[in-house]
Amino acid sequence: MVSVQRGLAGIHPAVKFVSVSVDPEYDSPERLLKYANAHHADLKHGYFLTGKLDVVKDVVIQGFKQSMEPILKDSTFDIAHSGRFIVVDKQGRIRGFYEAKTITQQRALIKAVSFLTQKR
């Protein structure tokens, strides 16, 4: 997320990054802030959100059209979820899905956001 934030720095003040915890029982606001600071996230242009599990599931599955399922991994509870960036325009429409871990996809995301923020 930090590399994409840096790539978009100064493009448009309305560009915001939102990270939604898929494990709200573990990820308290304090824990998310600690994570954001440890990863040098730009908190002026980004948010790390958590909430009640049913609301989070609704946002992830219905809103962002991503999967979110509990799984048992190495005898511990985990949550399977997407590792994607999702670009949402100012009208709330999904404009694209980008794999977070690939440089090519990160560059495509930066290009898409740059295009969406151009004055027409």
Q: How do the domains of the chain map onto residue ranges?
A: 2-114
What count of other Cβ atoms lies within 10 Å of the Cβ of residue 37?
Answer: 10
CATH match for 2-114 among 3.40.30.10, 3.40.50.970, 3.40.50.11540, 3.50.50.60? 3.40.30.10
pLDDT, residue 97, reads: 92
pLDDT, residue 120, reads: 54
The answer to whether 7 and 110 have CB atoms below 8 angstroms apart is yes
Please give the share of the chain, as a percent, with pLDDT higher than 70.
Answer: 86
3-state helix, strand, coil in the chain (%, to 5): 35, 25, 40
- Model confidence, pTM: 0.76
